[in-house]
Amino acid sequence: MDILDGVNLNPLKIIHHPKGNIMHALKSSDPDYVGFGEAYFSAVAKGEIKGWKMHHEMTLNLIVPVGAIRFVLFDERPHSRSKGLFWEEIIGIDNYQRLTVPPLIWLAFQGISPDLNLLLNLANIEHNPVEAENRSTDEIDFNWGI
């Protein structure tokens, strides 16, 4: 499945070290860096789904340093070449990547690992509840297979 218009998935480097690995996330020189507003972690239990959420202004840079998370994106933008399409990817330590989601893309995610599933969002703006919309999982028709 092709990635949605404006969404980027970038492999990240893990530097293996006998005392503990170093895991890259985002550099100001990366093409997807569009500023820094805040960083936060969000945990999701195995099988649980968080979403749907769509930001009007925030660009998300999502990394999963612990566990594995299934991300599902939906493009409802009227003039997008990927309008009406879904895209999904499982990201985690075995598929260590940064998912960059521009504004106006719907996002939901599901915990995959039986233990802790933790994402880090390096957002370009601080959280502002006015700039985001939420929908329940049944408001966007996607088969989660659960």
1-59: pLDDT as tens digits: 569 999 999 999 999 999 999 999 999 999 999 999 999 999 999 999 999 999 999 99
Q: pLDDT tens across 64-114, in order?
A: 999 999 999 999 999 999 999 999 999 999 999 999 999 999 999 999 999
Listed in order, strand segments (DSSP E) in the chain are 8-11, 14-15, 22-23, 38-43, 49-55, 60-66, 68-75, 86-92, 97-101, 105-111, 118-123, 132-134
> Structural domains in the chain?
8-25+33-134 (2.60.120.10)
pTM: 0.95
